[in-house]
Structure 1
Amino acid sequence: MLTLEQLSKLPLAYFNEPVLNKFVKRAFEESDLEYPTLILHSTNIERINSLVRSSKAVTFSDTFTQSMRKHSDDTLLLDLEPSQWFHVGVLESPALKNNAGQRAYVQQLRALIGFKHRHYLTKYTV
């Protein structure tokens, strides 16, 4: 477990993505903690991973992404406290509510996620 206070004292490299940017900003603003030293803010995930592997920075990830990645022994994954949550979903167009194609797509997507990520779904409720 890593607290925001501990994180604020570490060099940080993280993915430049609007939702993640809001989470990071909100987490530190609400806690009145000093923002970590930002080493890299980029869409180049390999560069971020390189900094993490060489112990030059820490980074963020979400539990769903981590459940799909192969982990190496040289990376330590810690939960952040307090946890940040977001939900991802599928919106159905009211204009297409009786559209069999749309309904079939959503059902296939649900089945795929339910099968491919069943181990994740047993640990984290949806």
Structure 2
Amino acid sequence: MNLHKDRKLNTIDIKKYFSFLYNDKQIRAVLTTSNQFLFVGYDIGKNTIGIKNPYSLIENMDKRSKYSAVITFNQDINPQRYILVDLEGLHHMVYRARKVKVNRLDFIHWAISLEKNIL
């Protein structure tokens, strides 16, 4: 299982970092210099969908929908490798999960509205 064969982003490719709450659960996201809005896949899988191993959903995702980046969301913490997913990847995760803690459509509409407001 090699999760990091997806496209790589450098720190200079990231324009802005975001942290949102959905049902009191943290969802982190980034905006790239090419104005692409990407969500942290782990946050979607673990915090929102509520699955134990979010990487099982990310692993089977189309490589065009996921990116790998070594970044930090908090300046006091060392950078970590994150798998970032675009809106299509978010759809994939939400609809491929068997049991979801949230309403699928509500969450997707929330994510779309975030992306529209940011861009």
Normalised-by-shorter TM-score class: under 0.3
TM-score by length of 1: 0.25
Q: Which has the higher contact order (CA 8 A, sep 6+)?
A: 1
- Larger proportion of helix: 1
Query: TM-score, normalised to structure 2's length?
Result: 0.26
Greater fraction strand: 2
